[in-house]
Chain A
Amino acid sequence: MKRYLNGPLLVMLAPATVLLGVFILLPMLLTIWLSLQDWSTQTGFDTARFIGLDNFAEIFGPGSVGRDFKTALANTAIYTVASVAVILPLSVLFGLLVYQQRVAGGVVLRTILFSSYMVPMIAVTLVWSKLYSPSEGPLNQILGWLAIPPQKWLSSPDSALGSIVLLNVWQQVGYFTVLAVAGLTQIPKTLYEAAEVDGAGPVASFFRITLPLLRRTMLFSGVIAIINAVQVFEPVALITQGGPINSTNVLTYHIRRVGIERSQGGLGSAMAVTLMLALIVAVVALFAFARRGGEEE
């Protein structure tokens, strides 16, 4: 019986397993191997020279390579945390607003919110680069009408990364709102009716019913938002090129600069492996946090 089951099972699993192995697992293993080599991306793998952990020592070292990498790592972490911290609460807020079925135009509002996600990032980036123009940009003109002094946006190292976060929030929040709405539809109305009978107000219902029952949706949204944020590339490549003073230099852009522009494949791979490990740690920590929250309830 066991042999009878194993044959078809293996046949069915093989295509997916082979594809995953060839296109995902193999490149990951190759990147890990390359991170331990001195290798130029313009030469064959046969020219790679094993140097142990030297690449990792250099990217965390005190030299210019280490300084730029650590800045890019910190920028990526700040960008990710800020993006997720703004997008998730906003998506729940917008989700609650557009989920009101008695309100006319809810579907239209949902469509408008989601439409920002459908616009290609490259177009969003080009438009926002003009919106942010310190001298002629509409954003500063609007602030001027409100008697708020013009902001430096992308032109200052103190505000450039925040400006990129704002652009990301605008583009992504619609998608996460749709996820939040999907989560809200799963909450039985009877729970709210029972809470109302027990005298619970809207605020109590939100914190005692809505938020706990949205936990799984929020966990999924959180993981996707983190992965999306870590992969930020277009706005940096098109508008800021990592500047001013590396203030918007994020890891994906920096890995491209080191690994491709400078052909330092070993160093670039070490950076990619570090990014992968950081992402794994962040996602595992998020799952652990969510599980712990669930157990406490």
Chain B
Amino acid sequence: MRLVRVLTCAVGVAGLLTSTGAYADTTNVSFLTHWAPDTVAKLEAAAAAYSKDHPDVAITVRAVPFGDLLTTLRASGGSAGGATIAGIYNAWLPDLAKDKLLAPVPDAMATEIKSDWPAGIVGASSTGGALYGFPNEIDVYALNYNKKLFAAAGIKDAPKTWDEFLADAKALTDKSKGQQGFGMINSWAAGVIHPFSSLLVSNGGDLVVDGKPVLDSDAAKGTFELYETLVKNGYSDPTMATADANTTGPFLDNFVSGKTGMIIMANWWESALKSGMGAGFADVATAPIPVGPKGDKPRSISYSWMTVVNAKASAAEQKAAWDFLSWLDGPTSGPAGGSAMGDILMSMGILPSRTSDVAAFKDRLADPFLKGYLDTLPDAKPFPVVLGGQEFSEALQQHVEALQFGKESAADAQQGAQSDAVAILAKAAK
């Protein structure tokens, strides 16, 4: 009897040790993103497919609203317990790399990335000569307009110049119906400054050149004045423009409900428009950004996102994370030679950046809505990636919003924006 008891205990202890050993062998990888639940489900499905062949790696996905992504990264991402992988906006890269939160891509993988992605995209995912992650999405801005409202206002084609743009905005404005010609955005830094910057570069201007802000240019003066004209004449109503932490809110509601004639937005907007408009999405068309009096051709702003690995994660976690990302972004994980990441991005209407993905998803990229963005891409200028970029964006946002609400004149907004930008970028570069 005593022997049986001893044997039972021994088996129990052995079982416990075995299970503990198995648990200890599992590498946990967490993936932080700002994607919506349906996209998170696709990422989880891809992670599950990867784990089938890699049972020793457990991948979990955590999603936060876009407005909380950087804070979450800063607050917990920089610790060993933070997310192992995170999707980040490239403008944040210099500051995050400076604070040593990100692990550089292992050399062998960096060589692969450099051969499989366009050089410009690889450059946007690098800082200080080091590549910090897998590039994934590219976003570019274009003019979206409501064809039904255009027809009702007797407008045949999308505006090509600022004069035509103002004339169309006037024709589309009908205060008795609560309808505005052009919809601006406020309370969301990127939503405010990206459309503004797209008009600026289409007027021959820039935000930053060689690390120095150039908002004191004539091209910038013209852009601030364009906003002032739109607001003063009532073609754009700033109270219809508020966004919330999920980058939705009244500005989205007003476009999908046919109360806004034109907006300037990025391609990722497609999924929000489809879910908000249903069959009415067929009324939405895409066109290049109208050219300003100082511009040479339609231009736009582009920016990219990338997936990075936490520098504070353990060596095993980092290794598993890079291996998973290599598979996720590789040509065997998705349909028809495309990557699983490319497939996920395409489901949101986002342009993938891997060269083989562009070929693999060429049918879906021929969609008229996305084609308008693809046509804009070759002449798009990348949004500046500089130290202090987030603070610079938020300072410019305040002046553009003040202009929208008539709290600052175009001249004051331009002067204030340039003066703030000079101080912020100089301080960040120290």
B-contacting residues of A (Cβ < 8 Å)? 40-43, 63-64, 68, 129, 133-136, 152, 154-157, 237-246, 256-257, 260-263
Contacts and interface: CB of A to CB of B under 8 A. Distances in A.
Contact of A239 (B78, B244, B390): B244
A293 to B, nearest CB: 40
Contact of A263 (B99, B243, B402): B99
Contacts of B75: 260
Given A42-B78, A134-B250, A242-B187, 17 more contacts: A42-B101, A43-B100, A63-B420, A64-B420, A64-B424, A129-B244, A135-B240, A156-B239, A156-B405, A239-B245, A240-B244, A241-B188, A241-B245, A243-B242, A244-B187, A246-B398, A261-B70
B405 A244 contact: yes
A152 B253 CA distance: 15
A155 B242 contact: yes
A287 B94 CA distance: 49
A42 B76 CA distance: 10
Nearest to A136: B253
B329 to A, nearest CB: 27
Name the prevailing secondary structure of the A interface residues: loop
Nearest to B100: A42
B71 interface: yes
19 contacts: A42-B101, A63-B423, A129-B249, A133-B250, A135-B254, A135-B259, A155-B239, A155-B241, A240-B187, A240-B242, A241-B187, A241-B245, A244-B401, A245-B402, A245-B405, A245-B407, A257-B394, A263-B95, A263-B99
A37 B327 CA distance: 44
A155 B244 CA distance: 11
B99 A261 contact: no
Interface string B273-291: 0000000000000000000
Nearest to B247: A241
Contacts of B391: 64, 262
A134 B70 CA distance: 29
Interface of B: 67-68, 70-71, 74-75, 78, 95, 99-101, 178, 186-188, 238-245, 249-250, 253-254, 257, 259, 390-391, 394-395, 398, 401-402, 404-405, 407, 420, 423-424
Contacts of A260: 71, 74-75
Nearest to B65: A238
A244 B186 contact: yes
A169 B68 CA distance: 26
Given A40-B99, A244-B238, A68 B398 contact: yes
Nearest to B424: A64
Contacts of A129: 244, 249
A3 to B, nearest CB: 48
Contacts of B390: 261-262
A40 B401 CA distance: 29
B67 A241 contact: yes
Nearest to A246: B398
A237 B178 CA distance: 28
A33 B239 CA distance: 43
A42 B99 contact: yes
Contact of A157 (B68, B253, B405, B420): B405
B405 A256 contact: no
A68 to B, nearest CB: 7
